[in-house]
A and B are shown apart, each in its own frame.
Chain A
Amino acid sequence: MIYFDNSATTRMDKNVLQTYEKVSQTINGNPSSLHLLGNYADGLLQQSRKQIADLMHVLPEEIYFTSGGTEGDNWAIKGTAIEKRQFGKHVITTAVEHPAVKESVGQLKMLGFDVTILPVDQSGRVSVSDLKEALRSDTILVSVMVVNNEVGSIQPIAEIGEVLKDYPTVHFHVDAVQAIGKVPLLLGKESRIDLATFSAHKFHGPKGMGFMYIKKGKKIAPLLNGGGQESGKRSGTENVAGAASMAKALRLVLEKSEEKQKDQREIKKYLVQQLEGYKKVSIFSQKEGAPHILCFALKGIRGEVMVHAFEKKDIYISTTSACSSRSGVGSSTLEAMHVPEKLATSAVRISLTDTNNLAEAKLFMGEFDQLYQQFKDIK
């Protein structure tokens, strides 16, 4: 089997699973309980938080455990809106965000907020000057993803941060779900980023687990009210096994991450070089984009046909994003990049992880060549 759909989800690492199992079986106190078992579980939870904070070069009190990327995005956006509503009702985001951002912003619009959606160029990137123009005195939030999940474009986060230095009261949220271990991301004092969303299952951690970075001194309202866990910011009994195994997965993915990125970049480069040799192939991902995502189309053949054709060969790729692939709508990122609709419906995505290798890419190209010959006369 060749698994090239790692941006949809990754396989849980064996060592991470060991931690998950061991913690679930042996450290089963509720961290909020008074007794020693509770204290012990709380100790592990805080140790996990500290490890994540250290790896991200931030403070432990800036890390909050969540259920994943969707919760993080919802929280950052709606939490900001609730917290800062008396200061303004204008929110800025981009045309290529994950649905968790797009739909959250949509809900704000229904509630009377004003929303600006920044366009992207053909490479899928927003322009900093568009952002400058969009900023207003009543802007409370700018939300921009770091790495696009469909084509892998990298947004100019540092430059946006520079612009926002003149707007210190605007919350700057980044969806970093696809970025972890793939592209560098500066958080902490030196960074303008206030909020960042992360999801464990994208880096070989458990599903249903994630974390949020909230810069010290920045406030967002909680969405989940209740028992006051996570310093009152995110109630719900703590998922200790999830937190510990996520901390481990994060450590593992960030170990030698530069080398791993280089390897994935090599695989991507090879695939691009090979695919460019085919006349009917269009490539949407940029060379300088994220090292692990490659989006392309074989003209005239719908994306889902390609997915199923490869599936029969035990190779797993996807139409653009897993989230939109079942709903039948085309790629909104490609649409925003002004890719013609007909071509966009042919798009497929390869997404890599550190366990993929060049041999798999070669096998993939062998199969692709056969399919190409089979499909080439079909219009």
Chain B
Amino acid sequence: MQYDEVMIRYGELSTKGKNKRIFISKLAQNVKFALQDFEELKVHGERDRMHLELNGADSDAVLKRLESIFGIQNYSPVRRLERDIELLKKVAVEMIEELYTDGKTFKVMTRRSDHDYELDTNDMNQLLGAEIFSKVEGIKVQMKKPDITLRVEIRNEGFFLSSKTVMGAGGLPVGASGKGMLMLSGGIDSPVAGYLTMKRGVNVEAVHFHSPPYTSPRALQKAKDLAAKLAAFSGSVQFIEVPFTEIQEEIKKIVPEGYLMTVTRRMMMRLTDRIREERKGLAIVNGESLGQVASQTLHSMIAINDVTATPVIRPVVSMDKNEIIEIAQKIDTFDLSIQPFEDCCTIFAPPAPKTQPKLEKARKYEERLDVEGLIERAMNGLVITKITVGDTLEAQQEADFSSLL
């Protein structure tokens, strides 16, 4: 069925007091961005809900796009009709028939903003209820928790009808909570951490450490492909590639094996924080999950987190691997993440890293490094790319190859 409008409910947003206006305008902005190619479409952000006037835009396509926008509690496609009671009856029956299967129940709920209209809400409920009951064979009326609720609004501009409510992605509009730097490796956890942070309104930028020739171009591409998956939730993601070879080589030369990992992580954390500062971010986000690997014990966290006072958001810290994988599959990053390319966390990895590194030792070993110089040089070599949805290697190749095939 082609619809004329979509009504979007904010849910959680509505409770946010004076910040509400900022949130609503952010959401309206994100919705407009996600639907920018539908030029005929108009977005009206109001206090309690948002209206999309489709003006002929393909409603199925619009509904699909809304699925991944954070800050939407749920939404309903709406038919807008002339104030013609016969037409109303006919469309009401069609809308019910589209949803009805054996044994389902329904009710009609009318609201009236035009109080001068000849039928009051009860009259309208009864009139449409009777029409549906007689036309849709086998359907039953039920007032409490019916399977189908047909909502009717009588307004001056016409009759507005809706029968479906689609659950939105929930959360807060991306950007409403400021900007954060995601430490994006090629693994399963960090994209999930990025997704969960975006869900709470953070505009996530991806920081990726690249150590050629120890890490391959494919590993870099994989991280970019993951960023493209995350872009589905925000339209685009800034991808910041950090040259990390020199730092890793220096650490390997100077730091004792047991502390290689700890010192490497401290350098990564420092660099991410420096990038955050430059790009006016408010937090660091990573995919650490407690106890999974040596670098992710509480002892390690103390030794690594020591380099910054910036909040470090670890959305998957208390999740089991299976729970993380479930989300990775939902956001379509899992298959990419399990591709076997070595990233900078695994190269030079000692056979037995310290699971309980001591902060003082980490600091002491680090003193032998030219920390400032190394960081300065890495910062000078940043490569920043804007990655949008579908900006994957596969998509690029598909385009390259299409003329051949």
Contacts and interface: CB of A to CB of B under 8 A. Distances in A.
Contacts, number: 30
B339 to A, nearest CB: 11
A44 B404 contact: yes
A52 to B, nearest CB: 10
Interface in B309-343: none
A284 B217 CA distance: 61
A246 to B, nearest CB: 10
A110 interface: no
Nearest to A40: B397
Given A40-B397, A44-B397, A51 B405 contact: yes
A180 interface: no
A47 B217 contact: no
- Contact count band on A: 10 to 19
Contacts of A247: 405
Contacts of A48: 401, 405
Nearest to A20: B404
Interface in A300-350: none
Contacts of B401: 43-44, 47-48, 244
A19 interface: yes
B397 A47 contact: yes
A23 interface: yes
A1 interface: no
Given A40-B397, A47-B397, A47-B398, A251 B217 contact: no
Nearest to A27: B404
Contact of B405 (A36, A40, A251): A251
A47 B405 contact: yes
B280 interface: no
Contacts of B398: 47
Given A23-B404, A43-B397, A47-B401, 14 more contacts: A19-B405, A43-B394, A44-B397, A44-B401, A44-B404, A47-B397, A47-B398, A48-B405, A51-B405, A244-B401, A247-B405, A248-B404, A248-B405, A251-B405
Nearest to B404: A19
B217 A36 contact: yes
B321 to A, nearest CB: 26
A61 to B, nearest CB: 13
Interface string A143-175: 000000000000000000000000000000000
Given A44-B397, A47-B397, A47-B398, A39 B218 contact: yes
Interface of B is mostly: helix
B216 interface: yes
A15 B84 CA distance: 58
B36 to A, nearest CB: 29
Contacts of A39: 218
22 contacts: A19-B404, A19-B405, A23-B404, A34-B216, A36-B217, A36-B218, A39-B218, A40-B397, A43-B393, A43-B397, A44-B397, A44-B401, A44-B404, A47-B397, A48-B405, A51-B405, A244-B401, A244-B405, A247-B405, A248-B404, A248-B405, A251-B405
Interface of A: 19, 22-23, 34, 36, 39-40, 43-44, 47-48, 51, 244, 247-248, 251
Contacts of B405: 19, 47-48, 51, 244, 247-248, 251
Give the residue among B216, B394, B397, B398 with the most A Cβ atoms within 10 A.
B397
Contacts of B394: 43
Contacts of B404: 19, 22-23, 44, 244, 248
A49 to B, nearest CB: 11
A36 B218 CA distance: 8
B347 to A, nearest CB: 15
A51 B402 CA distance: 10
Contacts of B218: 36, 39
Nearest to A23: B404
Contacts of A244: 401, 404-405
Closest A-B pairs by Cβ, 3 of them: A43-B397, A47-B401, A19-B404
A121 B401 CA distance: 48
Residue among A23, A43, A244 with max Cβ neighbours from chain B (10 Å)? A43
Contacts of A43: 393-394, 397, 401
